[in-house]
Amino acid sequence: MTIQMQPHTRDRPDYRDSGLEFPADFLIGAATAAYQIEGAVSADGRGPSIWDTFSSTPGKITGGDTGEVAVDHYNRLEADLDLMAELGIEAYRFSIAWPRIQPTGTGPANAAGIGFYSRLVDGLIDRGIRPIATLYHWDLPQALEDAGGWTNRETAYRFAEYTRIVAEALGDRVRMWTTLNEPWCSAFLGYGSGAHAPGRTDGAAALAAMHHLNLAHGLAVPVIREIVPGAEVSATLNFHVVRPADDTSADAVRRIDALANRSFTQPMLLGGYPQDLIDDTKSISDWSFVQPGDTAIIHQPLDFLGVNYYSTTLVRAWDGVAPRERADGHKDMGGSSWPGGDGVEFPLQEGPYTSMGWNIAPDGLEDLLLSLSREHPGLPLMVTENGAAFDDEPEGARVHDQQRVDYLRRHFTAAHRALQQGVDLRGYLVWSLFDNFEWGYGYSKRFGIVHVDYVTQERTVKDSGLWIARLIDEHVIPR
Ligand code: IFM
C-alpha cells in the first residue's frame, strides 16, 4: 500500500466544516484500552502483564507513573457506563486484558476476569451501546514474555487459545471483534526502539515479533468465526501517512511505508510479505521466522479494517547508515523502531501540534481513507481511533478544550469528505473516552473527551465531550 497524496496539500480546505450529515447507521462512539483505564492490577486473580513490569522499571515512564490505579474503571464500571449513556455513545471499543482471563497466558479461564467483561458487555447492551471488543491492546501476560514474548512463535498459538476462551464467553453478545490493536507498536516500539513494553532494543526481534503478531491474527480470525455466527472481524492498524520532504525522498517513503504499513496490510489483506521489506531488512534478519503455510494462515478475509490515525510522517533521504529517529516527540529509548530504515530521517513537520508534539493534519486522514479504499476495494473501514492530547484544565465544572473540539471538527470533516467520495466508512471512534495512562508518557498527556482528576477520580465531561454528544444526537457536525 502506498498512500497517495493529493498534489496541492496547501490549497486544500481547512476542514473546519459544520452542518455535514453522517448516515443514520454510521457508528459514532469512543475507544479505550484495558491497561490505560482499568487499574485494579491485582484484583480478582489478574496476573502481571509486560506493562506492569515495564512501568515499574525506573526511567521508563514519565513521572514514574504506572497503570496500577489508572482511572479505576474496574471499580467504577456502572458509573462509567452511565456516563457513556449520558453522552449518547453509539459504540464503545474496549480491550480485554489477557492477564485477567489467563493470568499466566495459558490454562483455564479465570472466571472473575471473564465476569468483569461480561458485566461490561451487558451494561453496554442494556444502554443501547454497541460493544466492539479488541482482544489485544499490548498487555501481554508477563509469563509469556518470560518465554520469549512475541519473538516466540508459540505466543501466536497461545493467543488463539485465549481468543477461543473470550469468544466462547462473550460471543453470544459481542458481534464486532478486533484481533490486535496497532501491532506495529507492539513489534517495533516493544522490541525495536524499546519505548514500549517489554522494552527490548533489537531489530531482528522486532521483525520476528511483527511476524508472530500477524500469525496470531491469522490464527484468531477463524476461531472467532467458528464460535460467533455472524461475527464482524477486523484488525486495527496505526497507519503512517508517509510524505516526502522533497523530490529526493521517494525511496525513503517506500522504506518507511513498507516497515510501518505494508508489513501488516500486505500479509493480512493481500497475502505474503512485500519483497522490498524483506530486501531492506536482510542484513538484520534472515526471515527464517516465516514457516511454510504461515502466509496463508495470516491472509484471512476481514469484515472491516480498523484505522487509527493521528498525524502524518515526513521523511527525507539521509546519507547516514542507521535511521534517524523522529523529531516530533516520540520517545527515544536507545533502539530504533525502523530496522532497515537506513538512509531515512524524519524532519520536524509543520505545526500546529498537539501536546504529544504530533502535527495536526486532517488532510492525512482523508488521503488515508481514500487510499485504503482504492487499494482494498470491498473492505469496509472504520476509524477505530482518532483524537488529540492537549494540556486542558478544568475551570469550575467545565473544561473548555477548544483545541480538541477544533481537532475533532477537522477530522470528522475529513471523514465526511471521504464518505462523499465513495469510501465505505462505517464509523468513527474517538480516542479517548477518558484521560488515561498514555503509555511511556504516563498521565502527563490527556486524550480524553472526559477529564479525570487523578486524585479524586472525579469525571468531568469536557466541551469536546459535549460537542461529540451533539454530533451523535444530530448526526451532523455541530456549528
Ligand atoms: O493511547 C494510544 C492508544 O493506546 C493506541 N493508539 C494511540 C493512542 C495515543 O497515543
The answer to whether 68 is a known catalytic residue is no
Q: Whose CA is nearest to atom 1 of ligand 1?
A: 438
pLDDT, average across residues 429-438: 98
Beta strand 241-244 with 312-317 is parallel
Per the CATH hierarchy, to which homologous superfamily does domain 9-474 belong? Glycosidases (3.20.20.80)
pLDDT in tens, 272-327: 999 999 999 999 999 999 999 999 999 999 999 999 999 999 999 988 655 555 55
Which residue in this structure is represented by grid cell 506495529? 184
Percent above pLDDT 90 for the chain: 92
Q: Nearest CA to 257 among 271, 280, 241?
A: 241
- CA 307 to centroid of ligand 1, rounded, Å: 12
Find the angle CA(313)-CA(315)-CA(320) to the nearest 5 degrees. 140
How many CA atoms lie within 13 Å of 261's alpha carbon, on the beta-carbon side?
23
- In the chain, % helix, strand, coil (3-state, to 5) comes to 40, 15, 45
pLDDT, average across residues 244-249: 96
Give the per-residue pLDDT at 343.
86
Average model confidence (pLDDT) for the chain? 95
- Write the CB contacts of 147 (distance below 8 Å, at least 6 apart in sequence): 154, 155
- CB of 431 shorter than 6 A to ligand 1: yes
Q: Nearest CA to 243 among 312, 197, 179?
A: 312
The answer to whether 90 is a known catalytic residue is no
- CA 33 to centroid of ligand 1, rounded, Å: 9
pLDDT in tens, 92-121: 999 999 999 999 999 999 999 999 999 999
Q: Is the peptide bond before 198 cis (omega within 30 degrees of 0)?
A: yes
How many CA atoms lie within 13 Å of 320's alpha carbon, on the beta-carbon side?
9
- CA 283 to centroid of ligand 1, rounded, Å: 31
The CA distance from 301 to 268, in Å, is 8
Give the number of the atom of ligand 1 that is nearest the alpha carbon of residue 181: 5
The CA distance from 50 to 29, in Å, is 29
Give the cell for residue 218.
Answer: 491469522
The CA distance from 114 to 24, in Å, is 33
- CB of 33 shorter than 6 A to ligand 1: yes
Angle separating helix axes 463-474 and 402-420, nearest 10 degrees? 30
pLDDT, average across residues 81-91: 98
pLDDT in tens, 159-194: 999 999 999 999 999 999 999 999 999 999 999 999
Helix (H, G, I), strand (E, B) or coil at 207: helix
Q: CB–CB of 176/131 below 8 Å?
A: yes
Active-site residue (options: 90, 182, 232, 366): 182
Q: How confident is the model at residue 331 (pLDDT cuts 50, 70, 90)?
A: low
Which residue in this structure is represented by grid cell 479461564? 109
Strand partners, 233: 177
Q: CB–CB of 140/150 below 8 Å?
A: yes
Q: From the CB of residue 23, how many other CB atoms can be counted at a distance below 10 Å?
A: 10
Give the number of the atom of ligand 1 that is nearest the alpha carbon of residue 137: 4
Whether residue 157 has pLDDT greater than 80: yes
Give the per-residue pLDDT at 356.
98
Give the per-residue pLDDT at 470.
98
Please give the model's pTM, rounded to 2 decimal places.
0.97
Whether residue 330 has pLDDT greater than 70: no
Sign of CA dihedral 430, 434, 437, 438: positive
Q: E-assigned strands of 311-470? A: 312-317, 344-345, 381-385, 425-431, 450-452, 459-461
